[in-house]
Amino acid sequence: MRIPLLRIVPDDTKFDFMRFRRISFPISAVLSIVAMLLFFTHGLNLGVDFVGGTLMEVQTKSGPADLAKMRSAVGSLNLGEAQLQQFGAPTDVLIRIPQQPGGELAQQQAAQKVRAALGDEIDVRRIEVVGPRVSTELLAYGIFGLLVAIIGIFIYLWFRFEWQFALGAMIANVHDLVLTIGFLSLMQIDFDLNGIAALMTILGYSLNDTVVIYDRIREMLRRYKRMSIADLLNISVNSTLSRSVITHVTVTLALLALFFFGGHAIHAFTATMLFGVVLVGTYTSIFIAAPILIYLGVGYGRQEADEPAPKEFVAEVADKAGAAKPAAAKR
Amino acid sequence: MLYISRWKMLAIIATTLIVCSFAIPNFFPKEQVEKWPKWAQRHIVLGLDLQGGSHILLEVDSAAVRKEKVEALRDDVRRVVRENRLGSPSAVTVRGNTVEFRVRDGVDQKLALQKFQELSQPLGGLLQATGQRSIDVVDAGGGLFRLTVTEPALVERIRQSVDQSIQIIERRVNELGTVEPSIQRQGVDRVLVQVPGLQDPQRLKDLLGKTAKLTFRMVDMTTTPDQAEAGKVPPESELLRGSKSENGQPYVIEKRVVVSGEDLVDAQPGFDQRTSEPVVNFRFNNNGARRFAEATQSNVGRPFAIVLDNEVISAPVIREPIIGGSGQISGNFTVQAANDLAILLRAGALPAPLTIIEERTVGPGLGQDSIDNGMRAAWIGSLAVIIFMFATYGLFGLFANIAVAINVAMIFGILSLLNATLTLPGICGIVLTVGIAVDSNVLIYERIREEVRAGRSALNALDAGFTRALATILDSNITTFIAAVVLFYIGTGPVRGFAVTLGIGIVTTVFTAFTLTRLMVALWVRWWRPRTVPI
């Protein structure tokens, strides 16, 4: 007996994605605005990489950590608003000391004070001390890097496709980044250098997806000179849909494994990626990146004919495969 | 597309095997690999976040370098003024980067200008003359001259300081007995010190943070510390504090240096014979020994001070002339403090103070935990992807899984070939590659499914599926590759490790999609001659 192969997306799926743009575009606009509002009101929870200060991961040598006691011990040092939080196991505590006034040396001294205050009951498992100069530079580099990546990818797409595609991909892309930043702001996820890495990867993969669909659209544009652009986009998205879904399942599986089993150190990183790559990236390439091409004037000036659906997609299947599948409803 | 010539086939298999084989040394213990020929000794370096260790970024104190440079210029100007009788040397003043002097009336101003200009030297040496000079000399009129240390001269000096500092830091860190420390210049004025597997970074930081400028000077007996604290410090002396073990006691110390640390030839920790407290024994070179002997001979009964970085370590009274050229420093040291001081003295003084501007230390315990977590996540993630692919594509899923497994092996091979650093984010990059690498297969298989649906025969569909999907694979991977490259250039440490595995993963993914998957399908077609595609 043969076990049938898994088919998540049925073979003859014909969803009208283009019509859905009347819903998806307003939704995206609203979400983007919300994300930006969140960013400007709540801001990002910038890590020590970008604001300077000290981050310590400590572990008690015996028994669970007494957070209250540690808080008062650190609090009595007058180092500003120190944050202590449990980090994974009950024995592990993450301590964040804000940047100290008084330049580079003061940061090191603060770290030493905290260490002394907590005494011998704890092991310092990790310590990061970032001075004011380095943190300013890292933030500037991070933003600069994102911009360079966006521009680099734009130029590549421009060479590879027409400018409308490059622009469409960029709009989709920025939309992804904005929503992800909103998510970071909403969840107050610690945003450090790893966060920049996550954003870059989201950029790369969300585009990966978009490019696959665009590739198909370009192929269709060459093959069907007379089909209406909306139909053409719909067919392109539908025919790549199965691939999009399967790929996202595999990426999600990999990311979920990292999220649940990869330890606390990469939690923020994988959470950001899960949101950006899996949730937003997929949605964007299908519901934003493809339909936006209509507005950007792809296929403008085509002589559209009455007959919308290509033969190959309906007729040929029915003919040669011996009517194995019911023909899809014609639009 | 499905016909692959014998030679091509061999080339594909050979390339794959060679690339994978670079990873082999990682599976053998280090001692064994060291006996292998040099070209085979390639292995992945674990990042500091995985093996534990300290990453410390130091910056040369540019303000101190500037000050030193300007003060040296002031002294030079004073000398010129004295030698050429241009006026009173004490009238030479410093304002910011500029030394100002008004010549006395009746002096030939042209001569003065010429003399001052002689102080200025061309920068860049003979080989790369830049036309820039070390000092700007301006005749402001009315006998006023302004001499400014130029910016290029300062940068040049900072650069030199960093070069010298790197050598000195190397000597200091090597004394700690750590394995494979890395000390590199970063930018103009920074030094990055990376030391793996250190239990106590505090000691490393103490060793790095000290300038270790040692001087032997006489204590000024013309005044008492109390008077000096009240503000009456003689012009040729300065008020210094004792070290912490001396309770920060004040001393008035002559500015004139009898002997400095540069004249030391050796320093070793030891114990005092009578008190058996830890001390540092040192030896001067001939020059130092002679001057120290002269000074002690003429100052018996007076105290002299041993000053380290403007802190008085001890101020013993000279009981008898010290003519042997050796002596000992005692100062209520612990054993480790004596040891460290000896290290510092042997390594020499830094040309300018260094400040720690960034520190990242991971303890060995956390590093091991990270490795364990990362590997566990990698196995579980890979297994999930493998099962899913098999459930979706059956036999072809198996092909994809083999391709992905080889893909990961190749990533390790290339990482080893480059002696690249594997970090925790780097492991994330590999897991992500597993998720993404199957995408190239998914693209091909979905295309084949479509072509089958469009009514093509099995062979036709396979061929068309590959041809059409490969263009897409290339396009879609290049975007991510661009992001990885940018990330590599802006990232530091762990993030860079992520960019490396991500970038390499993309290259191997495209390679396996274009060659291995195709090869497997081609062989399958040749051997089984299928009529339908089981996909």
> Which residue on chain B is closest to A206 by alpha carbon?
B480
Give the best residue of A2, A3, A5 to mutate against chain B (max B CB count within 10 A): A5
C-alpha dihedral over B501, B390, A254, A89, to 10 degrees? -120
**Strand pairing of B237-242 and B250-260?**
antiparallel
Cβ neighbours of B491 in A, within 8 Å:
145, 193, 196-197
> Which residue on chain B is closest to A7 by alpha carbon?
B392
Of B359, B382, B401, the residue at which a domain comes to its end is: B359
pLDDT tens, residue by residue, B361-379: 998 888 888 889 989 999 9
Q: How many domains does chain B have?
A: 3
Neighbours of A123 (CB within 10 A): 16
Q: In terms of domains, do B108 and B133 share one?
A: yes
Q: In terms of domains, do B379 and B411 share one?
A: yes
Q: In terms of domains, do B486 and B437 share one?
A: yes
The shortest C-alpha distance from B187 to chain A (Å) reads 13
> Which residue on chain B is closest to A125 by alpha carbon?
B363
**pLDDT for position A331:** 37
pLDDT tens, residue by residue, B33-82: 878 887 777 888 888 888 888 999 999 988 888 888 888 888 888 888 88
ipTM, interface predicted TM-score of the complex: 0.84
Q: In terms of domains, do B376 and B522 share one?
A: yes
The vertex-B124 CA angle with B120 and B130, nearest 5°, equals 85
Q: Judging by beta carbons within 10 Å of its beta carbon (0-12, 13-18, 19+), is residue B414 exposed, middle or buried?
A: buried
Contacts of residue A323, Cβ cutoff 8 Å, sequence gap at least 6: none
> What is the Cα–Cα distance from B54 to A317, expressed in whole angstroms?
64
Sort residue B82 into left (φ over 0), alpha (ψ -120 to 50) or beta: alpha
Give the percent of chain B with pLDDT over 90: 13
pTM of the model: 0.81
Q: Report helix, strand and coil shares of chain A as percent, to nearest 5.
A: 65, 10, 25
Cβ neighbours of B428 in A, within 8 Å:
258, 262, 266, 269-270
Higher pLDDT, A210 or B176: A210
Interchain CB distance below 8 Å, B201 and A157: no
Give the best residue of A253, A270, A285, A320 to mutate against chain B (max B CB count within 10 A): A253
Domain A53-130: assigned CATH number: 3.30.70.3400
For residue B410, give the CATH number of its domain: 1.20.1640.10
Interchain CB distance below 8 Å, A270 and B443: no
Interchain CB distance below 8 Å, A145 and B490: yes
> Which residue on chain B is closest to A256 by alpha carbon?
B381
Residues of chain A with CATH 3.30.70.3400: 53-130
**pLDDT for position B128:** 61
**What's the pLDDT band for B402 if we cut at 50, 70, 90?**
very high
DSSP string for B427-456: HHHHHHHHHHHHHHHHHHHHHHHHHHHTT-
The shortest C-alpha distance from B310 to chain A (Å) reads 17
C-alpha dihedral over B349, B350, B356, B357, to 10 degrees? 170
- Hey, what are B479's tokens? 């975007």
Shortest CA distance to B523 belongs to which of B1, B3, B167?
A: B3
Decide if B533 is inside a domain.
no
> Which residue on chain A is closest to B364 by alpha carbon?
A125
Instruction: Enter the DSSP assignment of A138.
Output: H
SS3 letters for B323-361? CCCEEEECCCCCHHHHHHHHHHHHHCCCCCCEEEEEEEE
The shortest C-alpha distance from A146 to chain B (Å) reads 8
The shortest C-alpha distance from B358 to chain A (Å) reads 5
- B139, β-bridge pairs: B145
The shortest C-alpha distance from B206 to chain A (Å) reads 11
Closest to A153 (Cβ–Cβ): which among B392, B471, B479? B479
User: What values do phi and psi take at A219, rounded to 5?
Assistant: -60, -45
Interchain CB distance below 8 Å, B486 and A149: yes
> Which residue on chain A is closest to B432 by alpha carbon?
A254
Instruction: For residue A90, give the amino acid letter.
Output: P
Give the best residue of B357, B369, B448 to mutate against chain A (max A CB count within 10 A): B357
Closest to B358 (Cβ–Cβ): which among A134, A208, A313? A134
Q: Which residue positions in chain A have pLDDT lower than 70?
A: 1-3, 299-331
Cβ neighbours of B439 in A, within 8 Å:
208, 243, 247, 250-251
Q: Which of A31-35, A268-272, B421-425, B529-533 has the lowest mean pLDDT?
A: B529-533
**pLDDT for position B366:** 87
Domain A21-45+135-311: assigned CATH number: 1.20.1640.10
Average the pLDDT over B81-94 and give the result: 84
Instruction: For residue A138, give the amino acid letter.
Output: L
Q: Does the pLDDT value for residue B515 go beyond 50?
A: yes
Decide if B251 is inside a domain.
yes
C-alpha dihedral over A169, B499, A254, A243, to 10 degrees? 30
Of B359, B376, B402, the residue at which a domain comes to its end is: B359
Is there a contact between B23 and B409 (Cβ–Cβ < 8 Å)? yes
Mean pLDDT of chain B: 86
Decide if B199 is inside a domain.
no
Decide if B17 is inside a domain.
yes
Residues of chain A with CATH 1.20.1640.10: 21-45+135-311
The shortest C-alpha distance from A119 to chain B (Å) reads 15
Structural domain of B260: 210-359
Q: In terms of domains, do B21 and B111 share one?
A: no
Interchain CB distance below 8 Å, A128 and B491: no
> Which residue on chain B is closest to A218 by alpha carbon?
B472
Cβ neighbours of A313 in B, within 8 Å:
454
Counted across chains A and B, CB pairs separated by less than 8 A come out at 249
Contacts of residue B165, Cβ cutoff 8 Å, sequence gap at least 6: B58, B60, B191, B350, B351, B352, B354
Instruction: For residue A222, give the amino acid letter.
Output: R
For residue B278, give the CATH number of its domain: 3.30.1360.200
Q: In terms of domains, do B326 and B379 share one?
A: no
The shortest C-alpha distance from B52 to chain A (Å) reads 9
Decide if B432 is inside a domain.
yes
pLDDT tens, residue by residue, B479-488: 888 888 988 8
C-alpha dist (Å) from residue B8 to A86, A223, B5, B396, B413: 57, 33, 5, 22, 21
Q: In terms of domains, do B316 and B392 share one?
A: no
Q: In terms of domains, do B41 and B132 share one?
A: no
Q: In terms of domains, do B253 and B312 share one?
A: yes
DSSP string for B164-200: HHHHHHHHHHHHTT-SS-EEEEETTTEEEEEEES-S-
The shortest C-alpha distance from B482 to chain A (Å) reads 7
Interchain CB distance below 8 Å, B438 and A57: no
Of B359, B390, B405, the residue at which a domain comes to its end is: B359
Q: In terms of domains, do B371 and B354 share one?
A: no
